[in-house]
Chains A and B, each alone.
Chain A
């Protein structure tokens, strides 16, 4: 059974930093792309960042230059380092697994989700 468990959320001051982790199990972590999606309270979902199986990274414009995504395939762990935090970064952050490839066809959806971690940026 695929399981994703976020940790590391909490309260940070504007301009501060937080690091989220996502422990993955139930699948061969190193062979799948992974991502982070966030949701401010009462608002919609927003894609934040993705990392491919080879380590290539991508970021939404809203976090580019402030956030970094990484993975440790030996520990089956995905991380999101969040620096220069702003009030508008306050949200629940979900870890999500990307879809799969079969033959020459790849599927780019998010097929499994964690329960989410709350990040609050406030003075």
Chain B
């Protein structure tokens, strides 16, 4: 069974930079998995931030960026703001129509 791993929680100071990661239990994450990132606040549907590793969705500020760091996908938030406090999910596309979500990272801005 494919397991996508994310840090359960992370803290960043306002104005600071934070990098969240997305790994695979049994392999290295590459661009071939088309990693995507989503932001979700309580009671709301997810908001798409990044797709295909590093493409920002329409309207997403450029302080959100995606990359591959080592053997993981990464989401970097530069100049964190209070309203960035959310849950962040990565998704890896496994092919044949199958997507796998990570467990999510709760980001605290404090």
Please list the residues of chain A having a beta carbon within 8 angstroms of any beta carbon in chain B. Answer: 33, 35, 37, 44-47, 50-52, 56-58, 60-61, 94, 99, 107-116
Give the residues in chain A near B40, CB-CB below 8 Å: 45
- Which residues of the partner chain B approach A99 to less than 8 Å between Cβ atoms? 51-52
Which of B45, B97, B100 contacts A56 (CB under 8 A)? B97
Is B99 touching A108 in the complex (CB atoms < 8 A)? yes
A-B contact pairs, 13 of them (CB 8 A): A45-B40, A47-B99, A47-B101, A50-B97, A94-B46, A107-B51, A107-B52, A109-B52, A109-B91, A110-B48, A110-B91, A111-B57, A114-B45
Question: How many residues of chain B get a CB closer than 8 Å to chain A's CBs?
Answer: 26
Question: Which residues of chain A are near B48, meaning CB under 8 Å?
Answer: 109-113
What is the chain A residue whose CB lies nearest that of B98? A58
Q: Contact: A52 with B101, CB < 8 Å?
A: no
Q: Are A45 and B101 neighbours in the complex by a CB distance under 8 Å?
A: yes
Q: Inside 8 A of A52's CB, which chain B residues have their CB?
A: 97
Q: Nearest Cβ in chain B — how far from A39, in angstroms?
A: 8
Interface residue SS majority, chain B: strand
Residues of B near any A CB (own CB < 8 A): 1, 34, 36, 38, 40, 45-48, 51-52, 55, 57, 87, 89, 91, 93, 96-104
Counting chain B CB atoms within 10 Å of each CB, which of A60, A99, A115 scores highest? A99
| Contact of A58 (CB < 8 Å), options: B87, B96, B101 | B96
The smallest beta-carbon distance between B23 and chain A, in angstroms, is 15
Rounded to whole Å, the gap between the CB of B1 and the closest CB of chain A is 7
- Determine the residue in chain A with the shortest Cβ distance to B96: A58
How far apart are A111's CB and chain B's nearest CB, in angstroms? 5
User: In whole angstroms, what is the CA distance A33 to B95 when docked?
Assistant: 13
A9–B34 CA distance with the chains assembled, in angstroms: 31
Write the nearest CB–CB distance from A119 to chain B, whole angstroms.
15
A107 touches B97 (CB 8 A): no
For residue A104, give the distance in angstroms from its CB to the closest CB of chain B.
14
**For residue B57, which residues in chain A have a CB less than 8 angstroms away from its CB?**
111
**Interchain CB contact under 8 A, A94 and B98:** no
- Contact pick for B45, options A33, A51, A116, CB 8 Å: A116
